Structures are given as C-alpha cells and as structure tokens.
Structure 1
C-alpha cells in the first residue's frame, strides 16, 4: 500500500503523521507545567509492511525508521500477531476483529525513545474497542497497560478507562494509585489524556495530541525540517524537568523491580 499522494486529512484507520503538542502538569507539592511541540505516526499494522513513503523506512534505515524491534517482543518479529495474542490471552480478541493502529514515534536519524505508544484495536466496523498503552522508562524497561470497558463496548470520546499503576516511570511519584485514560479521535484530531491519581487526589495531568495529515514524503520532510532532533530532545527535556523538580526538593522514590507480568 502506498500512502496517499496528496497531504489531505486521512481517516482514523489510515496511515497518517500528526503534528501537535505534549503537556505535563504536576498538581501536588512543587507544581510544574510544560508544553512542548511533538509529532507522531499512526500506522495501520495490517498494511504497514506495504507502506512506501519517502524518508520513512519500514524495518530499514532512513531519516525516519519504524522498526519492529522497537515494539512488542522487541526481537524484530511481526507486531500484529503479538498484539492479537495479547487480545486472545485477555479474552477480548472477538471484539477486536478490525484494524490495529499503532500511534508512536519512529526513529529519527537512528535514535528513538517512546515514553508511550498506543495500540488502538478496532472492530470490523472501525469502532475503537481496546487500547494497549506500551510504556517505556529511561531505564530501558517496558510495560503494557491494556484498557477497555468491562463489557468491551466501543470507546467513545470522553470515556474514562482506568488501570492500576504498577510500573516505575518517574522517580518523583511512587508506584501506586491509578491511571485514568481518555481517547479522542475527531476528524483530523487525535489526542490522549492520561491523569495519574493517588490517594483520591489527582497528581499529574498528561495530554498528547495532534492534527493528522496523510503520510507522505512531504509530511515527513516537514517533520524533518521542524524537528530534526525530536527524540534526542525528548530525553533532554525529561532530564531537564527532573532537575527542576530535584532543585525544588521534591521527594525522590527509588526504582523498584519491574512487574513480572508483561501486560496489566
């Protein structure tokens, strides 16, 4: 499958590139808020290996590269069977008989760090039913949160889905409490809200979103010109914000062992 020739608005199941922003706001102790520009891909896994887009390599090097070994089992094996197996293991495969769209950042000039990627699992009618949030920390560890309604009904704009926090991400928050997810896909806008709650109080607000356009060479050239060092910048910004909090003497939590189970 080749990406559309013109950079127009594509559908939620199409290959797209999104330009937008990420926002974090700490609500307790030393309050802290920042907003940075970002960009990300939305890739339908059923046809990703047939994509042909200038500047974007699929399992090969290019200015941008989407590599199977950066996700799933992290051994380069096909991603869609891995996701289907997780859905079967958790008893939700029957309602996810449609496309799986992976929202993520590619390697940029050979380097990647994805704090979180979202595997959006749809039914045959194109309705979102299940989302797997694939979380990575700066210690090279990974964990997945699988979220859906108890009855697996379609996930609509504004619906809140919860998952207990079991994986260490920031040293300034303990591994307890819960995440509350909300997903939005309206026209060209795709956004995710993740609120962290602990002890009945909201601790952190995170938002990431962008406006989509068809995945073309022109879109990737725009990304390269705007944000050539995006993934390096992500890690630099994480450490800069951590330094700011450390200087404010925010309580520091040592990293525990990662959870035994791969997916919560």
Structure 2
C-alpha cells in the first residue's frame, strides 16, 4: 500500500516587528497524516504508534476537541457547521508528533479536500500554554496554487500579543515542499510574521529516527523555547498582557483537553 501520509523536515520562524523587534528560528519536523491511515501507520511503523506510547505517537485527544470521536469525524463536523461540503474527501493533519509521550503543538493544520483532491478548506487549530485550543475554519476560494486566507484573531495565544488583530494566511499546500505563513496585523500595521516550512520525506522508521535526531525532543523543546522567548520579550520591556482571550465565534470549537 502506498502511503498518502508523509514527513516534512524544516524549521519554524517568528519575527515580531512591534513594539520591540524580536526574532527566532528553530529546526523542527512535522507529520502529515492522512486520517484514514492512522491504524495502518500504527501497524507499519515500529517507532510510531496511534493512541499508545512509543518513541513517536499521535494521540487523537491531543487534537480536535479532545473528545472520544475520531479526528476525521470532528473535522467533518466543523466543516459542516461552516457550510463546507467536501463530499467525504481526504483530510490530512499536519502536526508534530508526541515524543516519548510528550505533546505540544502551537499550531496544527487540517488540509480538507474534495473527492477529486482539490482543497476545499483549511482548519487551523491553535494551542496555547494554558492548555486551551481553538479552531479557525476557513474555506479555500481557489484550489489552484498557493492559498490565501484571512480572519480576525479571537483566541489568546501569547500573553505578549494583543487581541484585536487580523490574521492573514499564505499556504503552499503539501507537495515536495510545504509552507504555512501567518501575518498578524493591527491598527498600526504588521505586528508579527511567522512561518513553518519543510521538505517532504517518505514516512519510514529510518526517516523518523533521522528527523528525531536532527530536532531531538522537539515537543519538549518547543514548550521550553516558548517560555525562553517569553522571557526574552519581558527582558526587552514588552508588556505582559495576561489572559485577555475573547469569545469563541460561531462555527469553531475551543477545548481544554488533556495534554
């Protein structure tokens, strides 16, 4: 069986423009999982498991609303609630795996396609370090080439980043390369630019081990890096805004699920 799931190896980049300049880049890797292949991947790979401990794993409760229903069913429910009909097409989840049982994904992206393979929607699920998560469900207007989307920020991510911002997404869908770029703008202009970019690898035990060695303990490193960069921002005099999250708009889901 030829896998539709794959591995992407690359880096994440953040650049804050105001009120104080700040930037960083870290090497990371991501899995792009066709949600219909989870059980097959569990059987095929030795170092990756579905809903059970391994060197690398994906627990469905780490994503979606944290409930018992499958991630595919949850994604389809979100799409339907937003008036998006994919006709039961494939859904692929881009995320970092658990490493030695530890999980943290600042952002994961569901690529939701129609039966003919054309992208119909993207679901951006954002997690913060307070154990909360929130999904932005955005239709794809033009399935050809790069995808451009925008929405209002309605969920607290960083206590150093205000609400009242607008997100603009620029996504190069999965191929030999993959890019997800985000720009956050406010009344005074662009506040933040962030992007993740990776190159495709076949999803094998050897490739996973090599990626893990290139970015060891990446989920733990990501959590530590978030707190380290927060300390650097505080040292630069950037104001700590606290937890000023806004209401959840209709058609999205927020959940405080187990980590």
User: Residues 154 and 245 of structure 2 are in contact (CA less than 8 Å); yes or no, is this contact kept in structure 1?
Assistant: no
Question: Which residue does 2:202 correspond to in 1?
Answer: 214
Q: Which residue, out of 75, 79, 96, partners 1:83?
A: 75
Question: Which residue does 1:100 correspond to in 2?
Answer: 91
> CA separation in 2, counterparts of 1:233 and 1:47?
28
1:34 and 2:20 are equivalent in the alignment: no
Q: CA RMSD in A?
A: 1.8
Structure 1: gaps of 5 or more residues: 4-13
Residue 98 of structure 1 deviates from its aligned partner by 1.6
User: The residue matched to 1:218 in structure 2 has which SS?
Assistant: helix
Residue 247 of structure 1 deviates from its aligned partner by 0.8
Structure 2: gaps of 5 or more residues: 254-259
Q: Which residue, out of 143, 156, 167, partners 2:145?
A: 156
Q: Tell me the TM-score normalised to structure 1 length.
A: 0.89
User: Residues 131 and 148 of structure 1 are in contact (CA less than 8 Å); yes or no, is this contact kept in structure 2?
Assistant: yes
> CA separation in 2, counterparts of 1:233 and 1:148?
32
User: The residue matched to 2:36 in structure 1 has which SS?
Assistant: coil
Residue 154 of structure 1 deviates from its aligned partner by 1.8
Once the two structures are superposed, the pairs formed by residues 106-185 of structure 1 within 5 Å of their partners are 106-149=97-140, 152-154=141-143, 156-157=145-146, 159-185=147-173
> CA separation in 1, counterparts of 2:87 and 2:148?
19
User: The residue matched to 2:173 in structure 1 has which SS?
Assistant: strand
How many residues of Structure 1 are paired with residues of Structure 2 in the alignment? Answer: 250
> CA separation in 1, counterparts of 2:68 and 2:194?
30
Residue 138 of structure 1 deviates from its aligned partner by 0.3
> CA separation in 1, counterparts of 2:10 and 2:201?
11
1:19 and 2:4 are equivalent in the alignment: no
> CA separation in 1, counterparts of 2:173 and 2:26?
21
Residue 87 of structure 1 deviates from its aligned partner by 0.9
> CA separation in 2, counterparts of 1:222 and 1:71?
25
User: Residues 162 and 181 of structure 1 are in contact (CA less than 8 Å); yes or no, is this contact kept in structure 2?
Assistant: yes
> CA separation in 1, counterparts of 2:237 and 2:222?
23
Q: Tell me the TM-score normalised to structure 2 length.
A: 0.91
- CA gap of 1:15–1:186, structure 2 versus 1, over 3 A, is closer
> CA separation in 2, counterparts of 1:98 and 1:29?
43
Summarize deviations over 1:108-141 as a string: whole Å, max 9, x none: 0110100000001011221222000010000001
> CA separation in 1, counterparts of 2:46 and 2:197?
24
- CA gap of 1:131–1:111, structure 2 versus 1, over 3 A, is same
